Structure 1
């Protein structure tokens, strides 16, 4: 064996910040080389395992996922490049770094054709192999980020970003539920009308979990055809060893370690529901064209505004999948049900959208907020956002929400008192007549509610 230099003892991040998350398989028939590479990489990487031959390496790949395989080219039975070509045909989901004592052009060409991303010439220094691993991890990280960014932009996924605002009892209860379930792997199903903030709640759950620094990947099941969504989720392997890039990873692999959010899950094609059920239960996937499964590390969150039990009855949604994803059902309230949160939501949208549109914010006066509070909001929080954006563009609120000096009954003081009365009575009705709860939601004292009710003979 060509003896390399002594491995460095420092563990500084000079070789890249992604090294500590890297899992590596070392394939070499020489014990000294395997142990040396493990000694170099072990303190810096998440996991380093060894294989003395291609048979052992194949078995390890069947049961584990590795980011990088460091592969000696001269192995008993077959060369490392021959084994790599075979593995690509059954599914090879790692970057291969070839170590070789021969640096001729033909070997380099064969390595590229077989799918190796780098090769290191023996004898090598410790820094050379560390730099090769760091380059590979940088490339994987950049590829993953670019794919997810491209996907989010094409799917308009940024529309659901934000945080779960509000101090109404409904939102406080939901926030407490999310806090309890955040550290657990349990699937969560968000239900509720369109525009109630199901994706924002899902992002809030992700941010509360220990996966917060990993990807949050939203998938709108209604936005893709059955063929496209299958390929997007699972990826594919091209069984053609002559091609330099023989695989396309899907969202399930790119989201590894993070959270996958299936919006409008009721629209998931029936043909894929059984496959998705198996993925959730076994945490393994088999990309199209692959003979090998890949282990997953994912949190699954789902959302729908549809009646899933009715869809099950109609045969449009699998009953076993429904029971698997309905472990914890969090119903998002309508804006009407959490009307006391409207001032905070309106203020947040006004600040955010006026900044984005680069226009002055409109004043959210007491009159405006009272009129906003008396509206039914069939489109919920999303409709409120759209109204504020439209008002900022036009420079004023629509007439029915404005508080200008126009000579109409809606702007008159008597009308304002009527608006106040309707608003308080609406909140009282939502609280089942509980005046203490209504006072809490409205942000006033119980005595104020009692005095108003006495004045109105309620």
Structure 2
């Protein structure tokens, strides 16, 4: 039945038909399935509508006043012809059907038709479009995980790539260290991609999972292990079997879980919560932190034995400030990537824009650079112009500006976090994204400092 057709709330459709009754009929029916439904009674009206927004699906009557629907669709630019099209007609013959198919029609419906016929055709279009989107996402994921996406030819990044190449094929634990936003997960993915391991790459943010749930998430649980555990559930270590598990923000892991992780690393077995049995597991562990784990050990917040077990092979990713020569390559890469993702025209930044970006310190590292490029593309403003339009242009910070040399690291961290939160107008969630930490971590920091504020 028609009601079984899945809703497509993220898609848009344009109906072009000179019969007002048909336009009203289809708009009412399609509004239950699409986020946006527009109707037009002529090619001219349709042109005006499509100049204002993109349509995933066009439902077009062939017999339109002045210009038939097939001729109009054939004349559309290639960007618009990426829309799927269903043609309708009350006067069909073989020649017309062939013309419609050659024009790129995905379906051809004779009038009069039942609503179910139309919805079945629409459903096929939705499935085709969702499949294309899924394939595009998969291609992007493959491109994202490919080691060649580690951008940068500086001496510092050449060393990182060299280390990845030397250690990828081993099964040894790797600890990746670096500031937030430097690309630690990308390095972990590259290690997995080059390792030859056949299993999955599973990423876990240890700071984003409630401590009381972390053990169950990692190792799974049996039915009845705790309140609400109605059935058994496999953990992420099991899902990563034969592959790699990436434990991001390992410094956020509670001490109790650190003990459990140490046992897994030493015995290569896992025990689901509530179970008496241990199961062998073949998983390569890659951990990452933006903290000084050695300092965490000295202050009793991280197990010394786990630190030494994780720190078998160490990869330190330099901050973007340490490799300004890579900024231009990163800008070009993100400009191409984001222009494609956003459906925008790729732009060529001026020499002034590139110079301004090279002079900036990038406290948010690569994540901040990517966000700036995306913002400038969306706003249509070059970076130099965008920064000039801000009240406090970060690109023009005075030379030598920073924190006093005798200031403790904790205080530097506190001041920097407060500065980022203020820059995000008190929005802690946005600030957490810029800083590369979880909102939960940010709330904990504010609690430690005895400060409130933000939202």
TM-score by length of 2: 0.51
Q: Residue 396 of structure 1 contacts residue 402 of structure 1 at CA under 8 Å; is this kept in 2?
A: no
What whole-Å deviation, never above 9, does each CA across 1:404-447 have from its counterpart, x for those lacking one?
9xxxxx9xxxxxxx9xxx9xxxxxxxxxxxxxxxxxxxxxxxxx
What is the rounded CA distance, in whole Å, between the counterparts of 2:384 and 2:171 in structure 1?
Answer: 49
Matching residue within 371, 377, 380 for 2:362: 377
1:207 aligns with 2:208: no
Matching residue within 174, 177, 181 for 1:195: 181
Aligned to 1:219: 204
Structure 1 residues 330 and 323, CA, compared in 2 at 3 Å: closer, same or farther?
Answer: same
Q: Residue 189 of structure 1 contacts residue 327 of structure 1 at CA under 8 Å; is this kept in 2?
A: yes
What is the rounded CA distance, in whole Å, between the counterparts of 2:349 and 2:323 in structure 1?
Answer: 18
Matching residue within 367, 373, 387 for 2:352: 367
Aligned to 1:173: 159
CA drift of 1:365 comes to: 2.4
What whole-Å deviation, never above 9, does each CA across 1:143-191 have from its counterpart, x for those lacking one?
xxxxxx9xxxxxxx99x86631111111111111111111111111111
Aligned to 2:305: 320
Q: Residue 173 of structure 2 contacts residue 310 of structure 2 at CA under 8 Å; is this kept in 1?
A: yes
Q: Residue 175 of structure 2 contacts residue 314 of structure 2 at CA under 8 Å; is this kept in 1?
A: yes
Q: Residue 183 of structure 2 contacts residue 366 of structure 2 at CA under 8 Å; is this kept in 1?
A: yes
What is the rounded CA distance, in whole Å, between the counterparts of 2:303 and 2:195 in structure 1?
Answer: 29
SS class of match (1:301):
strand
Q: Residue 221 of structure 1 contacts residue 264 of structure 1 at CA under 8 Å; is this kept in 2?
A: yes
Equivalent residue runs for 1:259-298 within 5 Å: 259-298=244-283
CA drift of 1:402 comes to: 7.5
What is the rounded CA distance, in whole Å, between the counterparts of 1:332 and 1:170 in structure 2?
Answer: 8
1:352 aligns with 2:350: no
What is the rounded CA distance, in whole Å, between the counterparts of 1:401 and 1:201 in structure 2?
Answer: 31
Matching residue within 248, 258, 262 for 2:233: 248
What is the rounded CA distance, in whole Å, between the counterparts of 2:169 and 2:186 in structure 1?
Answer: 18
Q: Residue 376 of structure 2 contacts residue 386 of structure 2 at CA under 8 Å; is this kept in 1?
A: no
SS class of match (2:156):
helix
What is the rounded CA distance, in whole Å, between the counterparts of 1:185 and 1:207 in structure 2?
Answer: 13
Aligned to 2:44: none
CA drift of 1:367 comes to: 2.2
CA drift of 1:352 comes to: 1.0
SS class of match (1:165):
coil
Aligned to 1:447: none
Q: Which runs of 5+ in 1 are unaligned?
A: 1-148, 150-156, 405-409, 411-417, 423-458
CA drift of 1:246 comes to: 4.6
What is the rounded CA distance, in whole Å, between the counterparts of 1:246 and 1:365 in structure 2?
Answer: 59
Q: How many residues align?
A: 248
Matching residue within 228, 234, 246 for 2:219: 234
Equivalent residue runs for 1:19-168 within 5 Å: 163-168=149-154
TM-score by length of 1: 0.51
Structure 1 vs Structure 2 CA RMSD: 2.9
What is the rounded CA distance, in whole Å, between the counterparts of 1:189 and 1:265 in structure 2?
Answer: 9
Matching residue within 375, 379, 395 for 1:394: 379
What is the rounded CA distance, in whole Å, between the counterparts of 1:402 and 1:365 in structure 2?
Answer: 14
Which entry has the higher C-alpha Rg, 1 or 2? 1
